[in-house]
Amino acid sequence: MFVSATKALIDGDLQTWQTDLVEDATFMPPRHPSISGLPALVEFARESLGDFESYDLSNWIEGTGELAVVTTDIAWSHEGGDKTTGKQVVIAVKDESGDWKAQKVIYNSNSGAP
């Protein structure tokens, strides 16, 4: 789930990216108010998350049952070669078909960069 969503985000495929989120998902990005709901998240991704060249994930921890709290170190490269590192917490829930969907995403960078 998370790897395919990340690839879709990098590829600019926001239609696929949003399929890994619940309808009322909330993102809490650095230096930005919380964003809730798929339409607002797609707009945010289009405006603010569309310049990644790569995005690496590590240290995933999966939950059990219907809820997972996932923590990871992240690194992403922007167009032009600038690389940023950070961390995130993803709260995921299982949907009716048993697929994991992100419900809350909180992330920040280890530097002052977005």
| pLDDT tens digits along 53-109 | 666 666 666 677 888 888 888 887 777 777 888 888 889 999 889 888 999 999 888
Contact assessment for residue 62 and residue 69, using Cβ atoms and an 8 Å cutoff: no
114 belongs to a structural domain: no
Residue 64 has what DSSP assignment? B
54 belongs to a structural domain: yes
Compute how many other C-beta atoms are within 10 angstroms of the C-beta atom of residue 26.
18
CATH of the domain at 83: 3.10.450.50
Contact assessment for residue 109 and residue 83, using Cβ atoms and an 8 Å cutoff: no
Percent of the chain residues past pLDDT 90, beyond the cut: 25
Which element (helix H / strand E) includes 24?
strand 21-28
Domain that holds residue 83: 2-109
Task: State the pLDDT at residue 77.
Answer: 77
State the distance between the two ends of the chain, measured CA to CA, in whole angstroms. Answer: 24
Domain total for the chain? 1
What phi and psi, each to the nearest 5 degrees, are found at residue 23? Answer: -55, -35
Tell me what the mean pLDDT of segment 36-43 comes to: 95
Coarse DSSP helix, strand, coil percentages of the chain, rounded to the nearest 5 percent? 25, 45, 30
Query: Is 33 in a helix, a strand, or coil?
Result: coil
Task: State the pLDDT at residue 31.
Answer: 85
52 belongs to a structural domain: yes
